[in-house]
Structure 1
Amino acid sequence: MDLLPGVLAALDLPTPEGFRPPDGRSGGPAFASPLAVGDCAVASVAACLVAAAELAHARTGSRPGIALDTAHVAAAMRSEIHLRDPAGNGIDGFAPLSRLWPAADGWVRTHANYPWHRAALLTALGVTDDPGPAIAALPAAEVERRVYAAGGLAVAARTPDQWRAACPPDDAPLVSLTPTADAPARAAAPGPLPASGLRILDLTRVIAGPAGTRMLAALGADVLRVDDPNRPELPLHALDGVIGKLSTEIDAAAVDGRHALDRLVGEADVVVTGYRPGALRRFGLAPDQIADRHPGTIVATLSAWGSGPWAGRRGFDSLVQIATGIGWAVSPDGIRPGTLPCQLLDHATGYLLAAGILTALARRAAGGPATHVSVSLTRTATWLLDQPRKPPLPGTRDAHPAIDDHRVPLGDGWTGISPPGLLDGHPLRWPHLPPRYGQSPPAFP
């Protein structure tokens, strides 16, 4: 099932001559699911490569040929799982209290990886360690209500129909591209890669945003990630989330930090944010505020729940899977919700985010206006659920793609997965290795 034409049509991108995406069902265990996980994964990465080729054409007049391998996409969609330290060990991505729990009338999924979310979860339920008995004594919706009210993260497991009833679809496109302002763009000479010389200010965390911005780095952009020193990143994401980038810390609540951040926004071609809609307005970083102060700057926003009734809530891939009905759609027994074989909502949304940004850059390079690019995990979940279900190709469920074919050194003895795709036959590579979380000055190269 080729989903790419629909994605390219939404982005108003041409279908490249001679390129046919590989079958997404041939990705082995990473894509083994009753849902079209592999097809959505391949389409999202392929769209990113097509958009990169379009940007290269807008900047240089030449459109590079692109190629993609399903096994590479499958490895990339589980990149955080394939990270290895010098001893060959991985990093556990989920804390003990980030899991599925039985409630009095159903199931609840919690997310407590960050210490402040763990504290909010326990406080909301009036316990000090194990929330299991408290969750089991309450209806799932009540657990959800109490935990969110306390600043924590928990969602009741819903079917797709129950989700649509609770949060009707907002009809937003898979990747929303809204023109903002006509203004001269910062002049950046083209280079060997489509995004060479372009500056990306990365204000995202965890997987989706960082995956999209590191792909932009692999395509030549200079990416500077900024984190709040008061909310340090978890060990896994302090490595996985800064691959290919420079990484710095700025306290936006401090006057000098606010000035530094505004300076960087003014120097960036693209500002990418991964916070709840409206959460950055107090720092002057809402899309309309950036457009007013810095016309010509492209703003890209990523959220968990989109613009619907839950827009103001925090969220992560694992929670969106359970809330939107994916958990029940992939349940192996109809008794307990299941999970996707990879964090597809994060990764696919990240590549779609990158595709939208590259498309916006191509439009601007061709003399068009700046653009607000918007994506959400929930919209990607709807896209996945809307696809026809097909069985995996024969033998692929037990097939194990050769991960080591796509494993590369990340520095300091660490290894991980290389960026998926080829341009004119050349594989993409990560710059800025080894990554150093928070150790760069607050400046673009």
Structure 2
Amino acid sequence: MDLTEHGDLPRVWTVLGAETGLLEGIRYERGDGPGLPARLPVMELARTSVAAAALAAAELAAVRAGGPAPRVRVSDGAVAAAFVSERLVRLDGRAWAAFDPLSRFWRTGDGRLRTHANYPHHRARLLAALGLPDGAPVAAVAAVLGGRRAVEVEEAVYAAGGLAVAVRDVRQWAAHPQGALVPGRPPLTLERSDGPGRRPVPFPAAGTPARPCAGLRVLDLTRVLAGPVATRTLALLGAEVLRLDSPHLPESQEAHNDTGPGKRSAVLDLASRAGRRTFDELLAGADVVVSGYRPGALDRFGLSPAELAARRPGLVVARLSAWGRYGPWRGRRGFDSLVQAATGIALLEGTDSEPGALPAQALDHGTGYLLAAGVLRALTERHRDGRGALVEAALTETAHWLVHDLGRDGTTGPDGPADPDGPADPGGPADPGGPANRDRWTSTVDGPLGRLRYARSPVAYEGGPADWTRPPGRWGTDAPAWSGD
């Protein structure tokens, strides 16, 4: 079988413990819509991660239907639109202003710094670390940073609980104690739970190819953006997804408008006795737990994978992080934009004078679809032998995959990054808000909050779901309970 047309998908598929023969069922529709042009192979990352999720969904659909796996369709147009879904979403015509004015690149005394201040508490911590009052203007921040070293500010802001990273090139990141640990790791891992003698776990009888996850329950403990993309995909496939958030952490309704289709959303205080009791009751009925908090943040509540698996045998646990669960940065918070800056991507995509960015938050979206693929494969295997699994992914590992492993035509590879003066990743001009995207790759629905326009899912196979069964509601207002309980 010729696997060359699949790029790096065979390696990802093998990491997931699946049969490569299923790859014959994929049809690619390349160049059928707006692309994600960049110097790095962003379109290849997007296409491969979506293909992995779609193929895993088709395999699960075949298991539930008792027949051959349906053919998978991977449309570049649908993939590109989905990877900028947060820029396409509209509520009553209003766009989501996703980035705060303080979330940007800054000049420092010796280079560049990238900050993230989209949440109020992160903005307050950033300003406090710089010795500025809450509400300080951009000019005041620029004045302070202009006289300080980027790495010094990086450490000070993280010590204050904020988010900032010095902009590094690829070689500087490779020499960093955190970056040096990433090479050789796959884009994600799937580790089956030990459990000899367990019986297969039959699926509920209600599943169909259009809803292969029907009857399965997913606890969604994630926040912007990779984790919600993964659980949004599971909701598309029929899973009952209940997102849980702390009542003490703010969340953006606009973000939920993008990643909340098909889900319910509740708040639950795990620090309270009543909240822990409610969570224990939810866990007793869960098939999957997806966690997107920084490593160690949930362990104090007894929610480490080992503890979860002990309390709920056969559970599939999926975890993602920004920097990985190893090395000196393992406990740090992070977002797509910060990982781009730290790993050299911002300089590769920038100009001689200014750092740049990928045409989408591709590390977030790509990692989300990879994580969904891992969960779906784990559910398929659990049906056969009853064993649970731990699926893990990190944005830095996705970044390394993009820079070093996904190159075509010699533009990238294990010996170096993309040529900054080389050709952009093909796919045509990106126009996420243009009429072609709006008409072909988006849908509009009247929901509880108003008229919502959103990007359709790129996960597609014969007989698969055409759309989510429900629009997102108001964040945090559902009951923390499973439907029917």
Does 1:245 pair with 2:263? yes
Residue 377 of structure 1 aligns with which residue? 395
Q: 1:17 is matched with which residue: 19, 24, 28?
A: 24
Does 1:428 pair with 2:460? no
> Which amino acid is the alignment partner of residue 197 of structure 1?
G
> Which amino acid is the alignment partner of residue 83 of structure 2?
M
CA distance in 1, matches of 2:72, 2:25: 9
CA drift of 1:321 comes to 0.4
The answer as to whether partners of 1:420 and 1:428 remain within 8 angstroms in 2 is no
Residue 214 of structure 2 aligns with which residue? 196
Q: 2:65 is matched with which residue: 53, 60, 64?
A: 60
The answer as to whether partners of 1:77 and 1:347 remain within 8 angstroms in 2 is yes
CA drift of 1:263 comes to 1.4
**Does the C-alpha gap of structure 1 residues 181 and 442 become closer, same or farther in structure 2, counting only changes over 3 Å?**
farther
The two structures have a TM-score, normalised by structure 2, of 0.87
CA distance in 2, matches of 1:155, 1:395: 31
Q: How does 1:284-295 map to 2 (within 5 A)?
A: 284-295=302-313
> Which amino acid is the alignment partner of residue 89 of structure 2?
L
After TM superposition, the runs of 4+ consecutive aligned structure 1 residues lying more than 6 A away are none
Q: Which stretch of structure 1 is more off in the superposition, 309-318 or 404-413?
A: 404-413
**Does the C-alpha gap of structure 1 residues 186 and 273 become closer, same or farther in structure 2, counting only changes over 3 Å?**
farther
Residue 164 of structure 1 aligns with which residue? 174
CA distance in 2, matches of 1:432, 1:319: 33
Q: Summarize deviations over 1:396-445 as a string: whole Å, max 9, x none.
A: 13676533212112422111111113221555311222423112111122
Q: How many residues align?
A: 441
Does 1:299 pair with 2:325? no
Residue 342 of structure 1 aligns with which residue? 360
The answer as to whether partners of 2:222 and 2:228 remain within 8 angstroms in 1 is yes
Q: Summarize deviations over 1:188-221 as a string: whole Å, max 9, x none.
A: 2251222111111100001110011011111111
**Does the C-alpha gap of structure 1 residues 187 and 421 become closer, same or farther in structure 2, counting only changes over 3 Å?**
closer
Residue 265 of structure 1 aligns with which residue? 283
The answer as to whether partners of 1:291 and 1:297 remain within 8 angstroms in 2 is yes
Q: 1:320 is matched with which residue: 327, 336, 339?
A: 339
Q: How does 1:25-424 map to 2 (within 5 A)?
A: 28=34, 30-62=35-67, 63-86=69-92, 88-128=93-133, 129=136, 130-166=140-176, 167=178, 168-170=180-182, 171-182=184-195, 183=198, 185=201, 188-192=204-208, 193-309=211-327, 310-331=329-350, 333-386=351-404, 387-388=406-407, 389=411, 391-392=423-424, 396-397=428-429, 401-410=436-445, 411=447, 412-424=450-462
The answer as to whether partners of 2:253 and 2:474 remain within 8 angstroms in 1 is no
CA distance in 2, matches of 1:224, 1:393: 37
CA distance in 2, matches of 1:324, 1:267: 40
> Which amino acid is the alignment partner of residue 96 of structure 1?
P
Report SS of the residue matched to 1:39. helix
Identity %: 45
Q: Summarize deviations over 1:103-162 as a string: whole Å, max 9, x none.
A: 111100000111111111011110121321111111100010100011100000001111
The answer as to whether partners of 1:22 and 1:42 remain within 8 angstroms in 2 is no
**Does the C-alpha gap of structure 1 residues 442 and 395 become closer, same or farther in structure 2, counting only changes over 3 Å?**
closer
Q: Which stretch of structure 1 is more off in the superposition, 12-21 or 278-287?
A: 12-21
> Which amino acid is the alignment partner of residue 115 of structure 2?
T
Q: Which stretch of structure 1 is more off in the superposition, 405-414 or 269-278?
A: 405-414
CA distance in 2, matches of 1:301, 1:398: 31
**Does the C-alpha gap of structure 1 residues 360 and 426 become closer, same or farther in structure 2, counting only changes over 3 Å?**
closer
CA distance in 1, matches of 2:300, 2:472: 34
CA distance in 2, matches of 1:398, 1:187: 41
Q: Summarize deviations over 1:69-114 as a string: whole Å, max 9, x none.
A: 110111000001001121x220100011111100111100000111
CA distance in 2, matches of 1:409, 1:76: 15
**Does the C-alpha gap of structure 1 residues 126 and 394 become closer, same or farther in structure 2, counting only changes over 3 Å?**
closer
CA distance in 1, matches of 2:224, 2:333: 12
CA drift of 1:392 comes to 4.8
The answer as to whether partners of 2:203 and 2:383 remain within 8 angstroms in 1 is no
The answer as to whether partners of 1:101 and 1:109 remain within 8 angstroms in 2 is yes
The two structures have a TM-score, normalised by structure 1, of 0.94
What is the aligned-residue RMSD (CA, Å)?
1.9
> Which amino acid is the alignment partner of residue 353 of structure 2?
I
> Which amino acid is the alignment partner of residue 330 of structure 1?
E
Report SS of the residue matched to 1:202. strand
**Does the C-alpha gap of structure 1 residues 364 and 426 become closer, same or farther in structure 2, counting only changes over 3 Å?**
closer
The answer as to whether partners of 1:208 and 1:346 remain within 8 angstroms in 2 is yes
CA drift of 1:323 comes to 0.5
CA distance in 2, matches of 1:186, 1:112: 45
Report SS of the residue matched to 1:220. coil
CA drift of 1:394 comes to 7.1
